[in-house]
Structure 1
Amino acid sequence: MTNPDKIYFPEPGITKRELVDYYLAVAEPLLAALLHRPTTLKRFPDGVSGDPFYAKRVPKGAPSWVEGVQITFPSGRTAVEVCPTEPAVLAWAANLGTFDFHPWPVRRSDVDRPDELRIDLDPQPGTDFDDAVRVAMVLGEVLREAGIIGYPKTSGGRGVHVLARIRPDHDFVGVRRAVIALAREVVRRAPDLATVSWWKEQRGERVFLDFNQTARDRTIASSWSVRGTPRATVSTPVRWDQLESVQPDDFTLRTVPDWFAENGDAHAGIDERAYDLATLLDWADRDARDHGLGDMPYPPDHPKMPGEPPRVQPSRERRPEG
């Protein structure tokens, strides 16, 4: 470890040594979330008050036991990204100033077919974590109706993430299509609480179900990741019956090891069964057939996709004259 006493979080006085020690304390459940997944490292070399960057390639000089796997970006370019296989990789990454681990929803055996469904519930201005929890409870019910068991976690910020293991039967486009159908069903049941509108001007004071987090090369912070917040909050798995009684600030680098020791890993059973997306894709077909609802805009760094609507903010669309 280099500069172990370097302050990474000035407000609580957390050092690099504490960050490395934290990741070793939660190495078992964190590695379960990252194992054999291409993983982007969100690095804060100057601490939380500095400018972070996303490391999408194995850095030069990495030890030989830091393994990598080749991934393809939306542009078609490729890179060899870190693929965690052992706890030492976590300590090595933390020594480089990695706070967040951002794994792809795929395994190294097939990097083009996701085996994890991810739903990011993002509170918009005027809403908060409690609103995200209310939407998450609706989402959990909808997933169960689709024959899928979801696993919630705090995002480490104001949001909630819900994960589910799926069979790697579909590419990124197919999985994203299933998530859009899922999100639309949640909005139907909670229209005053949830939105699937890609354009911020249309979201209002609702929780946005960010379907584009399932697009290629879009990731969310993994379970047990420290986030770049002043208090060093942590994205923490919780059970459904715990979700309504916790707050994001309950989980920090200093409190989570004790939480894990007392509660275990709420996502420990996620690999016991992988679900298919048949029902969600049936809903997508229904939405297109009965409601004329097709694809949604992709992130701006993606090439134009077949069937995608114009990437034009509604307020800037040219209106026909006359």
Structure 2
Amino acid sequence: MSGNTVTHRAGAAVERPGTTCDASVAPKRAAGELGLRRSELDLAVHLGRVRTIPDRVAGGWRVPRDEIDRIRAANGFAEGLRSGVRTVGTTEGAALMHVTRARFTRLARLGLLVPVKFYVNRYRAVVWLYLAEELRRFAADERNATLLTGRTTEVLRAQLGEGLDLRPRNWRGRHLGFLLRQAADDPWDRAAAVASLLDAAEVSEVVTDPYDRSRLRRFRPVTAAHGSPESPAAQLAEEIVTAADQDEIDWLRSDLAAAVEAARRQCPAPRPALHAVPIESGSEPVPGETAEPLRPGTVAGARQGTELQGPRPAERPGRPGGLFGRLWRRDS
């Protein structure tokens, strides 16, 4: 998950001693101090191996200074951290596990190997990436020996023949775990994380209140861009991000309903209140951003039993108002 850091000449004035900025660093600087590329730091954060805090000034996140010190103090931190976030594709992963590309792909489609990232290449093909250390552990586990060398069972072959491919679903599950870890302290963030994996129509069916849906849209997590908007690559990526299997959709809908209900109890979504409207306008109360106290001379005040003040002098019967009224009074 990449991002752009915007710098300003006045930035030095923002990072004053004793502020959060002084006790933390921006992602680009944190990556340099930890010996990682920015994409590797993003993945380390995704996996929960680097703790972050929200950036209240510029948005996004920052890495606390004490977190960098903790990581750097670990034995062999540089190589250990880099190896922990190393990703490989199908060809390199198959070589790492000493199996053919075809067998590696079958294991991934069956959901036995879980991708951690993906991208759409220039040929509009999805390229799945896996953690190298997870593949090594899978290959070293004796319980998986028959999967690596034996014949695929008829049941599994039948599922593959029917088009089974659990890579997108497994990626979504892993990605949702990351989003929920990042949103641990905010109920609307958690609800929006679940909603981000559902089609808009599914979200509308579950969350019928328009103000709650607006809140979800506001907190919707930003996803990595895959090509320009509406491009074939972007549309393909959107299909991967959106739940497809009915049982997965049902599970997410149930989680979304529970998450929104919890968010409502803890922090209800803001909604307009009724303004008090002057009676001379002849209109009904209209929605506004904030509520105002009921005052005499308003429709709402009258409905609460408040006496309305009499007409202003310019509006008394027999006397014209406005410019003609002033001329009339001056000449009279």
Q: What is the TM-score normalised by the length of structure 1?
A: 0.23
Higher helix share: 2
